[in-house]
Amino acid sequence: MTGADLFVHELQQRGVTWVATLCGHGLDPLYAACRQAGLRLVDSRNEQAASYMGDACGRLTRRPGVVFSSSGVAHVNALTGLTNAYFDHAPLLLVSGAAAVSTMGQGHFQDLDQVALAKPISQYAALIDDPATISSHVAKAFASAARGPVHLTFPMDIQKAVASGQWPVASDIQRADAPAPSLPPSSRPLLVAGSNVFYANAGSSLVRFCERSSVPVVVPIWDRGSIDHPIPHFMGVIGAATGGPRLLDDADLVLLCGAAPDYRLNYIDDPRVVRIEPQHLDSLNVPPTPAWLRECQRRRDEFRRQFEASAVHSAPGLHSLDIIAALREVLTDDPVLLIDGGSIGQWCHQLLCDRYPGHWLTCGPSGAVGWGLPGAMAARLCYPDRPVILVSGDGAFTFTPAELECAARQRLPFVALVADDQAWGITQLGHKRQYGEAISSNLGPIDFGLLAQSLGCHSLRVTEASRIAPEIRRAYDRDRPTVLHLPIPGGNEWSTA
């Protein structure tokens, strides 16, 4: 058994069924081992896309997505997905090939200290420099991935070396549960539920707590959601660029659960804030305050009405609201929903907010755009029997459009809705309001239908609102991606008046 064979065996022992990758220097022995063991390699055209696939897998399933990258600049490209996972504390394993250990630091091909680059954004980063340590490194990496992304540099001479033995599969790192804190009396409590509620698989506990205690709950924008069905206690996202109902300022008790008091919460740090762990939700006792819950619901509903009414229709044709209406209709099919983009993302977050399940995915706290296409490929791999819908702005969609070919060739179907305003919409709107004109935020026209067809996908340009939902459903049964080009000329803006 070679080192590569043992490594692949260790992955399969931990339930890994596919690996996102782009071929290149340092990977051939690993590829051969995957072929021999029947571990699927899902190829991409850019290491950035491959790493986004692994990141999306981890953020959807709570299990480490695995990425194989070649060495040098390829490794640097792959750090994009590792960084996204770092912001979200998501499980991801990046494995980068390299030339021989014996010539490291002497100028061999693509000589680079890959571990040093990955270490600041990894929970564990190491060089496998001895075949006897392969199993140990894999065990440590998977255990550490319970807290966030990890990295292993795996040189080719170690991959080819004879390896024997195997370490037991390590479980996630166990942390002692802190006791539930005592809570001060409160008449206006607010629960802020962040990504770690999802990663702790505590969504049911979250809902039970809200229903038992009549406590309103918000999710920081871009954090993972844990509310699988509509509940009257869910107030939507907090920290959006487009604002929100006044809740945080008027709460006299803020229960911070699995979330950080960062910019989305105005760096809140005062006596009102009590940190709780997801495991506390089933035992925590907060006396119900139904009058405060009703007031929060009134503020939420009023904000949504005002936000929807703020839509600026500056040109004929589709508006973002038409896309939202179509999504509301097809969400009854309970698809995996991915949201990638600035302006269209704001509309989705503000108006698709009666629930926030774990199979809806956004960029995460990084605020990145451009991850959506590889994210949709990963979603199809993770949920082979569920509809997958990607909602993307035109700018975000063009980060990795070549991945459409990879998705079509490897039979990874999904439906992509491209909201096309020919701009970096949210930035352009901000420029116009601050400076009176757009500054380097305009984009030119693209025939997204022709682009998709050239890359082996189905496509359709849709200009009538009533056709969007039927075309989404029509695409569910196709064996390749379908791109719906949705021009929204001047129809992505909102008024602040």
Instruction: Count the residues in the chain.
Output: 497
Check which CATH number belongs to the domain holding 203 and give it: 3.40.50.1220
3-class secondary-structure state, position 375: helix
User: 234 pairs with which residues across the strands?
Assistant: 217
| Structural domains in the chain (count) | 3
Is it the case that residue 138 has pLDDT exceeding 70?
yes
> Rounded to an integer, what distance in angstroms lies between the CA atom of residue 486 and that of residue 326?
12
Mean of the per-residue pLDDT values of the chain: 94
Contact (Cβ atoms closer than 8 angstroms) between residue 4 and residue 29: yes
**Residue 102 Cα distances to 127, 199, 241, angstroms:** 13, 40, 51
- Residue 258 CA to residue 251 CA, distance in Å, equals 18
My answer on whether 210 and 150 are in the same domain is no
CATH code of the domain containing 50? 3.40.50.970
Query: What is the model's pLDDT at position 490?
Result: 64
Where among 306, 326, 351 does a domain terminate? 306
Is residue 181 in a domain?
no
246 lies in some domain: yes
Residue 170 banded pLDDT, cuts 50, 70, 90? very low
Q: At what angle do helices 290-309 and 343-351 cross, to 10 degrees?
A: 140
> Is residue 295 domain-shared with residue 323, that is, in the same domain?
no
Residue 259: CB atoms within 10 A of its CB come to 24
Q: Distances in Å between the alpha carbon of 211 and those of 215, 233, 282?
A: 7, 7, 11
Same domain as 252, residue 104: no
15: left (phi over 0), alpha (psi -120 to 50) or beta: left
- Same domain, residue pair 194 and 129: no
* Residue where a domain stops, chosen among 253, 288, 306: 306
Give me the pLDDT at residue 334, please. 94
- In this prediction, residue 176 carries a pLDDT of 53
What is the DSSP code (8-state) at residue 227?
B
Q: Quick check: 299 and 293 in contact, CB under 8 A? A: no
Beginning with the edge strand found earlier in the chain, give each strand of the sheet holding 388-393 in spatial order. 360-361, 336-340, 388-393, 415-420, 482-487, 458-461
pLDDT at 177 over 80: no
Q: What is the mean predicted confidence (pLDDT) over 13-34? A: 98
pLDDT category of residue 165 using cuts at 50, 70 and 90? low
Judged against a pLDDT cut of 70, whether residue 175 lies above it is answered with: no
CA dist 141 and 130 (Å) reads 16
Q: Which residue has the tokens 């996204």?
A: 84
Residue 279 sits in the same domain as residue 244: yes
Higher-confidence residue of 373 and 316: namely: 373
**173 domain residue, yes or no:** no
Looking at the fold, whether 361 and 476 belong to one and the same domain comes out as yes
Question: Do 270 and 339 reside in the same domain of the chain?
Answer: no
In this structure, what are the phi and psi dihedrals at residue 265, rounded to the nearest 5 degrees? -110, 20
193 and 80, same domain (yes or no): no
Q: Is residue 184 domain-resident? A: no
Q: Are residues 131 and 224 in the same domain?
A: no
What is the pLDDT, as a whole number, of residue 312?
80
Residue (of 341, 347, 375) closest to 359 by Cα position? 375
| Structural domain contains residue 396 | yes
Q: Which residues, listed in sequence order, are joined to residue 390 by a DSSP beta bridge?
A: 338, 416
Q: How many CB atoms lie within 10 A of CB 371?
A: 30
- CB within 8 Å of 43: residues ≥ 6 apart: 21, 22, 23, 50, 406, 410
Give pLDDT tens digits for 422-461: 999 889 888 988 999 999 999 999 999 999 999 999 999 9
pLDDT in tens, 263-306: 999 999 899 999 999 999 999 989 999 999 999 999 999 999 99
239 and 384 share one domain? no
Angstrom distance (rounded) from CA 227 to CA 217:
10
* 302/216 same-domain check: yes
* Domain coverage including residue 215: 189-306
The band of 253, judged by pLDDT with boundaries at 50, 70 and 90, is very high
Residues 335 and 319 in one domain: yes
- Residue 64 DSSP code: -
Give the lowest-confidence range in 82-96, 347-361, 452-466: 347-361
Residue 171 domain-assigned?
Answer: no
CA torsion angle 108 112 114 119 (round to 10): 140
Which of residues 254, 287, 306 is at a domain's end? 306
Distance of CA 314 to the CA centre of its chain: 32
The pTM (predicted TM-score) of the whole model is: 0.95
Cβ atoms < 10 Å from Cβ of 331: 18
What per-residue string of b and e applies to 396-405 under the rule 16 or more CB within 10 Å gives b?
bbbbbbebbb
* CB neighbour list of residue 213: distance below 8 Å, 6 or more residues apart: 189, 284, 285, 286, 287, 288
